[in-house]
Amino acid sequence: MKNLLKQSLNLTLPTLLVLLLGVPTQATASIDTSALVGSTAGGLSINQGAANYTIPITVPPGIAGMQPELSINYNSNTGNGQLGVGFSLGGSSIIHRCSKTIATDGTKGGVNYDSNDRYCLDGQRLIATAGTNGQANSEYHTEIESFRKIKFTGNHWTVKTKSGQTFEYGNTDDSKIEAQGKSVVRFWAVNKITDAANNSINYVYNEDNDKGEYTLQRINYAGNSVRLTYEDRDDTHTSYQAGSKLQQTKRLSNITTYTNNDSLRDYDLSYQYYGTP
């Protein structure tokens, strides 16, 4: 068993403000002193008036650079998610249903889980260039040109990049996330990335359809893995989309990286409440 590099991250707004302002402070999270402890790099930026802070997650190297690029991100304009208010996990990708817009479609409308829905790749609108929108064998490009070839098979999506990588979305049961109480797919999560030499990264999810909730559980590549653990949260949140419930009952509590089942690096996440949950 290799030494485990253990790091504790306290995801609270005051802690983050200290990071942004560069003011020294005592850590508010407990640290396991029996483990080997290392520092965590971070980067600050300002984009469209929002403060952003990125903490990269160090993962074991893959073959020919094929490894996940994960990070814990803060954006001051982001709401409450699986990492609390303002925070999110970067490095995953989804194709999801999105609304028509006046600028692109000449009209606007919400997501209804029907043929009127449009599609977005990580928030970037997809424009149909061949076939019928949302139908089998339809082809797309992103509204802001990214030189990716995007195709919907009728079951899942494929995205081919200029660098020769192929992304698959929703090509496994667990990566095809249905709307709560319906059989229609709400979004397609990335399940596999393959390069020209057939090196691959595979993503594993858990879906709770009764709650309309899903979590990324594991990423496997080249004998390595990243495993994510979640805990119940007190500040549960429920919203609805076209009559389907969207609940948030879990939050990310740990990220551990492995090589051949030997744990290498461990990130513990802790949270604090301000006000009533």
| Cβ 74 vs Cβ 86: under 8 Å | yes
Q: What average pLDDT score do residues 231-260 get?
A: 91
Q: What average pLDDT score do residues 245-255 get?
A: 93
- In angstroms, the CA 226 to CA 62 distance is 12
Q: Tally Cβ neighbours within 10 Å of residue 61.
A: 13
Contacts of 75 (CB under 8 A, 6+ apart): 50, 51, 52, 86, 88
| Neighbouring C-alpha atoms within 13 Å toward the C-beta of 262 | 9
Task: Classify residue 144 by its DSSP letter.
Answer: S
Which three-class secondary structure state does DSSP give residue 97? strand
User: Quick one: pLDDT at residue 48?
Assistant: 61
* pTM given for the model: 0.84
Q: What average pLDDT score do residues 47-74 get?
A: 90
User: Quick one: pLDDT at residue 14?
Assistant: 46
* CA angle 140–75–72, rounded 5-degree value: 85
| Cβ 209 vs Cβ 180: under 8 Å | yes
User: Quick one: pLDDT at residue 5?
Assistant: 66
| Cβ 118 vs Cβ 100: under 8 Å | yes
Share of the chain above pLDDT 70, in %: 81
Q: Provide the residue ranges of all domains of the chain, joining segments of one domain with +.
A: 96-268
Work out the pLDDT band at 4, boundaries 50, 70, 90: low
**Is pLDDT above 90 for 146?**
yes
Q: What average pLDDT score do residues 102-123 get?
A: 92
User: Quick one: pLDDT at residue 77?
Assistant: 83
User: Quick one: pLDDT at residue 17?
Assistant: 44
| Burial annotation 183-193 (CB, 10 A radius, 16+ → b, else e) | eebbbbbbbbb
**Is pLDDT above 80 for 37?**
no
**Is pLDDT above 50 for 33?**
no
User: Quick one: pLDDT at residue 237?
Assistant: 86
- In angstroms, the CA 18 to CA 167 distance is 38
User: Quick one: pLDDT at residue 52?
Assistant: 84
Which helix (H) or strand (E) is 8 found in, with range? strand 5-11
User: Quick one: pLDDT at residue 93?
Assistant: 97
Work out the pLDDT band at 243, boundaries 50, 70, 90: confident
Contacts of 40 (CB under 8 A, 6+ apart): 7, 9, 55
Q: What average pLDDT score do residues 157-173 get?
A: 98
- In angstroms, the CA 212 to CA 181 distance is 8
Q: Which two tokens stand for residue 100?
A: 């028509």
- In angstroms, the CA 175 to CA 240 distance is 21
* Region of poorest pLDDT, from 70-84, 176-190, 207-221: 70-84
The neighbouring-strand residues paired with 64 are none
User: Quick one: pLDDT at residue 19?
Assistant: 40
Which three-class secondary structure state does DSSP give residue 86? coil
User: Quick one: pLDDT at residue 274?
Assistant: 72
* Region of poorest pLDDT, from 107-111, 118-122, 225-229: 107-111
Q: What average pLDDT score do residues 145-152 get?
A: 96
pLDDT digits (tens, 9 = 90+) for 198-210: 999 999 999 999 9
| Cβ 100 vs Cβ 107: under 8 Å | yes
Strand pairing report for 36-37 and 5-11: parallel
Work out the pLDDT band at 11, boundaries 50, 70, 90: low
